[in-house]
Amino acid sequence: MTATSSRYERLAQRNFFEEILALRDLQRKQKATAEIMVRGDDLPWELNRQGYTRWYMAPTMEDVVMNTYVMYVQRIPPHSRSGKQLMQGGQIGFIWEGGKGYSIIDGERYDWGHWDLIQVPLRVRGCVVQHFNDSDDDVQIIFASVNNVNSAGVDRGCGFEQLEDCPEYREQKRREAAPA
């Protein structure tokens, strides 16, 4: 029996239309109790490999009414930087609070300040992106992009890799690994 006929047999046991209807019913049930108003005070700051992040909408967040966007605030401490990522692009970042800094996108520097907008281009091979805070105050950047994780996968055709962790995350991991 070939792999093609094995797949045929496996698929013949399923009813995809009924599975879609079941998924619809599950989504309707989840959305009936989902959050319509997302308040910043209800969201914790998460320290992850990219830095301090407050998630408003994420691909894995199931308790919000809409999941069509990825939206978060990233806080970069004074004279620090975000992690470095290879990402698909297609993202905007609004400098919401703080002073000045810059972003490196595919090796090119883009200086920004309060109320500026960073546009990370959508590229087939993706973009390498990192953000830097040059000021003495925290910088907060609101990031948003279309949530196409379920249709294109987390890699979104180009790969999704953490190339460098932010300094605060590395320090936290170093402290956790240190003997007591």
Q: Which domains does the chain have, with CATH numbers?
A: 3-32 (no CATH), 40-177 (2.60.120.10)
CA–CA separation, 76 and 82 (whole Å): 7
pTM: 0.83
CA–CA separation, 92 and 60 (whole Å): 20
State the Cα angle at 59 between 58 and 63, rounded to 5°.
65
Question: What pLDDT does residue 3 have?
Answer: 59
Ranges in the chain, pLDDT < 50: none
Q: Which residues contact 12 (CB under 8 A, 6 or more apart)?
A: none
Question: What pLDDT does residue 2 have?
Answer: 57
CA–CA separation, 85 and 68 (whole Å): 22
Question: What pLDDT does residue 173 have?
Answer: 94
Instruction: Report residue 40 as tokens.
Output: 């910043």
Question: What pLDDT does residue 99 have?
Answer: 86
Task: Tell me the percentage of the chain whose pLDDT exceeds 70.
Answer: 96
